[in-house]
Structure formats: structure tokens, C-alpha cells
Amino acid sequence: MLRFGADGNHIIGGGSAGCVMANRLSADSDKAVCLIEAGPRDRNPFIHMPLGVGVIARTGWVNWNCETEVEPHLNNRRLYWPRGKTLGGSSSINAMVYIRGDRADYEGWGAAAGADWDWPRMRELFIALENNQAIHDEHHGNAGPLCVSNLGRVNPLTEDFVEAGVELHYPRNPDFNGVSQEGFGVYQVTQKDGQRFSTARAFLDPARSRKNLAIETNGLVERILFKDRRAIGVRVGGRDLLLRPGGEVILSAGAVNSPQILMLSGVGPASELRQHGIEIVLDAPEVGANLADHLDYTAVATTADREGFGVAPSFLPRAIRGAWSYFLHHEGELTSNASEGGAFLKSDAGRERPNLQFHFLPAILRDLGRKTAFGYGMTVHVCDLLPKSRGRIGLKIADPTAHPRIEGNYLSHPDDVGVLLNGAKLARKLLHAPALARHLREEVRPGPAVQTDEALIDDIRARAETIYHPVGTCRMGSDSASVVDPAARVRGIDGLRVVDASIMPSIVSGNTNAPTMAIAENVAQMMIRP
């Protein structure tokens, strides 16, 4: 058996939360920290080149490549779930969009888990974490470890997408993380000098030289080790890494793998654990439950011009110039995050706040980028920000190398169908607004044949996909049924915390990467405070 550290911590998962935890906890030189990541180092060049996101989506190099079970309300399709499997986790493979969410999201967290999770505290954390390269005002930070910037180059089609929103009488919004979320604008991104700025770059790189921080890659955690309902270490590749008294295990494997590891370790719904022959350490029925995610629908059109990105012989000279500019100066088209523009809108006038998010790509998207789409075009994504449908994560088999059972249960709540229907109608309207219509050759999805609400709902069920924001599977709360308490400690277990998107009491109104970092920062400060 191997021992690491005195009064130290083992962190399972080197993703968006784990990198933050490793940095903050290892800042105390008297504490030893071991970060264990199942994937490799973040050396793949397509990680760091922003437009490389299109390549990463197609491969299993640094990607868990999960998929759901058949989804009964989506024509029994299995949905693709990419998850980062490298240092930086999903912050190393995502589209880099920097969104905090709406104030009301955190007011809900505060009601569920107390003042440490309410908007004033979370706003304080967001500002402290941020090093915004472009905006200097009271809503943003300029001295934190996380670089946030404007895109170095915005495609003309993206600018026309924003203009199309204005033509439909929606406000222009220069800052989705400022006074108001509502309106159309260009996203800020987690980049620095034209390159991706993942949590590995922001938080691990400055800490690598610390003698009290060990980083173990390609280390698949098989289970957490317990003695008398206290976490005492982890099993990695057949080795037992034991804590010394006073240490903690911090589970930061994400909304998919954190509940899986808990269940493999004997913490979860007793009936499911018995089914798989797993010794029960703690009957915790909500482990894996409360899964929430943003379901996404696309309207796609080909364009008559060549403003966007295209797979075509005519794009080759641009690609060569873009590559030259990127490799010499980290400038040009390869610094695009693909999902350049966006909007936050209400699905109907009676809403108090936006419940739809749009992402605009100046390109044709097929099968989430996994299939090549030839020619030039544009894609308008729309997702339901506040879904009522809930799914769960379970076990297929008691094997840490196997993917867990993912049941998104999308559109199981009837209200979600109406919301996404209204969003789909808006997406189509945007394609045909004057600013974009002048580029439009043909609407190919849903296409001219789809005209009625019934036909559009059928198309949603046939084509909707996740936009990769699963949360909530180890729910945090002040109530005794929650998996973790407001300090992220697993109820009924000593020396074990869960710190990642899985503990969100409810899903946020936007991309989940920035909130996940803020969760980790908050818990780290709780652990550091006397």
C-alpha cells in the first residue's frame, strides 16, 4: 500500500473543479495534495488551438465518448455525450464560452444550500477568479487566475447574426455577464493570446513546481476506500493510495463519473448496489438522481457566399493563411471557438427571465461535428435553459472501466416540449431575418417541408441533442436527503467531499464551466478557513 501526504488530500479528477482544488489546497505548504486524472497530460495541440474543438469532438484521444441509453421521448435515439478525459477535463475540449448564469440561479442555490451559495457570494467568487482582458468595470475581475477575453477575430456571419436579433426587436447585449443577460451579442471566451485557457493552464500550471503537489495522469480510480464510514484513500490501477489521519478524499470526476465512483465504492441506492453485488457502505438514494441537462435544437442553412467556415476546395487558401497566422502569432481564423455569437431570450412574454440560450456557428454542423458537412453555411442552436425533465446516472456493470448508465430522460416533462418548440421557431426566424437572409441559399434543417407545430415537434424528437451541460447527480442541499451538505461533505461519510457540477442544486441558465470553477473555489475556501 502506498501512502501520500500528512493531513493531505486526494483529488479524484483533474477537470474544471479538480484543477481549482489542487491549486488552492496545495497553496498551504504544510498540506500534501495528490491529483489523480484518468486521462493523459493536456499536450494534444488541438486542445490549445481554439478551432481544434471541431477535431476533438470527433476523436477519443482526450474524450470519454459517453452516450445515453435510448431516449424514449427522442425517438429512442442514443445521444452522444463528450466529456473531457485529460488535465483540464471538459474545459480542455469545450467551446470556451464564458457564462456565469443568471442571478436567479444562485438565489435558488441559496434557498437550497444557504448563504454561502447565494448570489452575493457567488458573484464575489466569479469576480475574484476572473482576469478579464477586455472589460474593466464593477461586474468583472481583472486580477484572477482565469483569463477571459474577446474573440480575436469575429466572423462576419456572426456579426450579422447579432444584427438579425436586433432586426427582430431584441436588445443588443455587449456583456452577458454584466447588468443583464437578455439580448444578442458575441460571447467572451476562456482564451489568452489566441489560445484556449483551460483550468489546467489557469490553475495547474502555476502550481506544478510545488513540492507538496503530486499530479498522477492515466490513473483510473477504481473506488474510494473506507473504514468505519470514513474515507481513508483510493484504489488506482490496483494500488491503494492511503491518506494519513486528517486527510480527505475530494471527488471531482464530474456529473457522470462522480456518482459512478460513489456507487462503485458502496455509496448509493442500496437496491442498485445489491443488484451489482457491491458491498453497501451507505444507502444514499439520491446518488445519481436529479440529472439535469440542456437539450439543444439546430436550424441549419447553406449560404450563397463564402463568409463562414466551409469544407470546400475554395476554403483551402483561407485555411492555409489561417494556419500560418495561428502558428506564427496565435491570430486569425483558427482562434475562433466556432460558437462565436449567442443570445438569451424568453420563450414567451410571460417569463420573468430568459429561458432560451442560442449559440451561432458560421458553418454547417452535422451530428455535433462528428460528420463532415461539405460547403458553406450557418447553424443556429437553441437550448432550453430551465428544463423540468430529470434523468439519472446508474451502473451498467460493477466495472470502473465501463461507462455508466446515462438516462437523460429528455422531454419527459410536457412543458419542455413547448419551450423548445418556441425556441425552434425563433431559430428559424433568425435565419430568415434580413441580416442573415442576404446570405441564405437554403434552409436545410428543419427544411421547407416542416411547417406545422406537429411537424416541428417531430423534427425536435428526431434531431435534438444535448449541448453538454449535465449537472445535479450528487445534489447539494441543507435537507437530509441531499447527497452532500452545504460544505460539499457527503452525508453519512467522514473525510469525503464531492466538488464539481454534480452538486449543483439546480441547473444554471447558461454554460456550466464557469459555475463549476466557482463551486470549487468556494469549497476550497471553506476547507482553508479555520
Strands (E), 272-374: 282-283, 295-303, 310-311, 341-345, 356-361
- Residue 394 β-bridge partners: 405
CA atoms of 86 and 56, how far apart (whole Å): 12
CA atoms of 426 and 173, how far apart (whole Å): 18
Q: Spell out the domain ranges in the chain.
A: 2-44+199-291+471-528, 152-186+295-384+411-463
Mean pLDDT by 10 residues, the chain (530 residues): 58 98 95 96 95 83 95 98 96 97 98 98 98 97 98 97 98 97 98 98 97 96 97 94 91 98 98 98 98 98 94 87 92 95 96 97 79 87 98 97 98 98 98 97 96 98 97 98 98 98 98 98 92
Cβ-count burial 369-380 (b if 16+ within 10 Å, e if not): beeebebbbbbb
pLDDT of residue 1: 38
| Residue 439 among the catalytic residues | no
Quick count: other Cβ atoms within 10 Å of Cβ 351? 13
Q: Please name the CATH architecture into which domain 152-186+295-384+411-463 falls.
A: 2-Layer Sandwich (3.30)
Q: Residues 405, 396: contact at Cβ < 8 Å?
A: yes
Nearest partner of 515 among 101, 20, 13, judged by Cα: 101
CA atoms of 73 and 410, how far apart (whole Å): 7
Nearest partner of 268 among 178, 381, 395, judged by Cα: 395
pLDDT of residue 2: 42
The CATH class that applies to domain 2-44+199-291+471-528 reads: alpha beta
Three-class secondary structure of residue 25 per DSSP: helix
Identified catalytic residue from 10, 73, 439, 469: 469
pLDDT of residue 54: 83
Q: What are phi and psi of 216, to 5 degrees?
A: -110, 115
pLDDT of residue 5: 43
pLDDT of residue 3: 42
